[in-house]
């Protein structure tokens, strides 16, 4: 297929301008439960005219082959995923970079001919697909021949996800399924599969063992605790009801420890879920995590040193990155970018004022959706502050 991306100039993009990218690509449906929604997400692969994948920068983002066109649908603020990834980056973690786009898709069902609003699909988020690379998940490249002790320890990307999704994965006694992301299932060797599974099992043995708090032989020998805390606080702040359960990525770099992330899939967060207490600003999300999910905080909090470290990290983040005024300003900034596009989006998808999927709150206008999101964040921050100061982690 032919593809073109037009960057905004002075706040507005135009198909009569010179495109930022004008070339070829392939597009495929993506998602789990969201595949059946009217507004669907896609994977976009940049190719040459022979359909061979090539790298290209899109809208100022670093060059790569694989991209995601994410379709905010049940999140009627259109903001939640972008907000989470930006906060993760401000914490010092890698998270997918994003750009808002309005997607026009010409297919046989919508007719050929001149591009028009009949091809309009709405507001989408162009985002980096999670993959190993210098500009993405910057971990060591693991080749098939890397089987000796000096190399086999990394890098790996795995994902805790839906068990019914199929695909190559492993389970441990206490967790899973963990799906192979990098190396890809068709490329990872049997020795590498065995190594990463053993690492997870050794970590679990240490975490749930008698001497779990020993800094030399306990959980800290296997887990990047600082990285875990950043993921924990982002999930708890937003009360992401899919956090540590589905689309939950983890990395293991060469010679380094297991680290949760990058952040992914935040549409049922920031109060946008009517189960697991997702709509309430009160209550800890970690209490609903099941044993086979990434429920490690439930054990970690039994270590007083970890509790002190968790509280200290929250207080540090609240000084700047998670200052409620700064978060509100970021939401306002994103909403301002969307002020004009959201009108076209909701003309195409007239769902304002309607219950969609697991919505907890249903606003009658776009402004109501954004204002409620800001109020929810403020309330959530206040509740966590009170728990931290009371030592109730």
- The per-residue pLDDT for range 24-71, each reduced to its tens digit, is 999 999 977 677 899 999 999 999 999 999 999 999 999 999 999 999
pLDDT in tens, 274-322: 999 999 999 999 999 999 999 999 999 999 999 999 999 999 999 999 9
User: CB under 8 Å, gap of 24 or more: what pairs does 110-116 form?
Assistant: 115/15
Cβ(66)–Cβ(342) under 8 Å?
A: no
Angle, alpha carbons 88-238-173 (nearest 5°): 85
> In this structure, are 43 and 146 located in the same domain?
no
Residues of the chain above pLDDT 90, percent: 90
> In this structure, are 170 and 216 located in the same domain?
yes
> In this structure, are 145 and 27 located in the same domain?
no
pLDDT bracket for residue 160 (50, 70, 90): very high
Strand pairing partners for 259? Answer: 251
How far, in Å, CA of 288 to CA of 88, rounded? 23
- CA-derived radius of gyration, the chain: 22
> In this structure, are 269 and 337 located in the same domain?
yes
CA-nearest of 136, 141, 143 to 261 is 136
pLDDT bracket for residue 167 (50, 70, 90): confident
pLDDT bracket for residue 14 (50, 70, 90): confident
Does 90 reside within a domain?
no
Does 361 reside within a domain?
yes
Does 87 reside within a domain?
no
Strands (E) located in 129-202 = 156-160, 169-170, 178-182
Cβ(61)–Cβ(99) under 8 Å?
A: yes
100 Cβ contact partners less than 8 Å away, ≥ 6 residues apart = 78, 82, 123, 124, 125, 126, 337, 338, 341
> In this structure, are 121 and 240 located in the same domain?
no
Per-residue model confidence (pLDDT) at position 35: 75
> In this structure, are 180 and 109 located in the same domain?
no
> In this structure, are 53 and 110 located in the same domain?
yes
How far, in Å, CA of 335 to CA of 48, rounded? 35
Distance spanning both ends of the chain, measured CA to CA: 52
> In this structure, are 170 and 219 located in the same domain?
yes
Helical residues (DSSP H) of the chain, grouped into ranges: 80-90, 190-207, 225-238, 297-300, 304-318, 324-338, 341-348, 366-389
> 3-class SS at 77?
coil
How far, in Å, CA of 39 to CA of 103, rounded? 11
- Look up residue 267 and give its two tokens: 């549409």
> In this structure, are 266 and 353 located in the same domain?
yes
Does 11 reside within a domain?
yes
pLDDT at 110 over 60: no
DSSP assignment, residue 79? -
Q: How many CA atoms lie within 13 A of 226 on its CB side?
A: 6
Find how far residue 291's CA is from the centre of its chain. 22
> In this structure, are 337 and 259 located in the same domain?
yes
pLDDT in tens, 348-384: 999 999 999 999 999 999 999 999 999 999 999 999 9
What residues make up the domain containing 371? 138-393
Does 81 reside within a domain?
no
pLDDT at 166 over 80: no
Does 79 reside within a domain?
no
> In this structure, are 22 and 118 located in the same domain?
yes
> In this structure, are 120 and 214 located in the same domain?
no
Residues of the chain above pLDDT 70, percent: 97
> 3-class SS at 364?
coil
Last residue of a domain, one of 128, 149, 177: 128
Q: How many residues does the chain have?
A: 393
Does 159 reside within a domain?
yes
pLDDT at 125 over 90: yes
pTM (2 d.p.): 0.96
Cβ(259)–Cβ(224) under 8 Å?
A: yes
Q: How many domains does the chain have?
A: 2
Number of Cβ within a 10 Å radius of residue 246: 19
CA dihedral for 309, 324, 236, 164, sign (positive or negative):
negative
Does 91 reside within a domain?
no
């Amino acid at each position: 297929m032919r593809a073109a991306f037009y960057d905004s100039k002075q706040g507005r993009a135009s198909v009569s301008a010179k495109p930022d990218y004008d070339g070829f690509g392939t597009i495929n449906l993506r998602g789990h439960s969201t595949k059946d929604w009217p507004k669907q997400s896609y994977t976009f692969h940049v190719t040459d005219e022979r359909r061979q994948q090539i790298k290209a920068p899109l809208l100022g983002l670093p060059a790569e082959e694989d991209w995601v066109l994410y379709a905010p649908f049940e999140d009627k603020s259109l903001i939640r995923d972008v907000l989470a990834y930006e906060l993760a980056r401000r914490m010092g973690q890698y998270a997918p970079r994003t750009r808002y786009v309005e997607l026009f898709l010409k297919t046989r069902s919508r007719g050929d001919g001149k591009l028009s609003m009949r091809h309009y699909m709405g507001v989408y988020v162009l985002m980096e697909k999670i993959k190993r690379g210098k500009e993405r998940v910057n971990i060591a490249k693991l080749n098939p021949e890397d089987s000796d002790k000096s190399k086999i320890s990394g890098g790996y990307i795995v994902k805790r996800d839906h068990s019914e999704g199929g695909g190559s994965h492993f389970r441990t006694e206490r967790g899973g399924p963990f799906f192979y992301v990098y190396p890809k299932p068709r490329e990872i060797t049997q020795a590498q599969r065995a190594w990463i599974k053993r690492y997870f099992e050794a970590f679990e043995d240490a975490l749930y063992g008698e001497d779990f708090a020993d800094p030399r032989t306990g959980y800290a020998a296997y887990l990047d605790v600082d990285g875990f805390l950043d993921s924990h606080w982002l999930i708890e702040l937003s009360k992401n009801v899919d956090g540590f359960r589905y689309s939950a990525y983890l990395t293991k770099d060469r010679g380094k420890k297991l680290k949760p992330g990058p952040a992914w899939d935040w549409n049922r967060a920031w109060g946008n879920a009517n189960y697991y207490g997702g709509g309430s600003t009160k209550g800890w999300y970690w209490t609903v995590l099941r044993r086979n999910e990434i429920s490690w905080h439930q054990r970690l909090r039994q270590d007083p040193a970890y509790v002190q470290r968790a509280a200290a990290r929250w207080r540090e983040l609240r000084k700047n990155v998670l200052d409620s005024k700064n978060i509100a300003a970021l939401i306002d900034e994103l909403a301002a970018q969307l002020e004009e596009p959201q009108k076209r989006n909701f003309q195409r998808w007239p769902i304002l004022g309607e219950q969609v999927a697991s919505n907890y709150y249903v606003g009658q206008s776009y402004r109501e959706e954004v204002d409620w999101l800001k109020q929810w964040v403020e309330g959530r921050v206040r509740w966590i502050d009170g728990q931290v100061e009371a030592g109730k982690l």
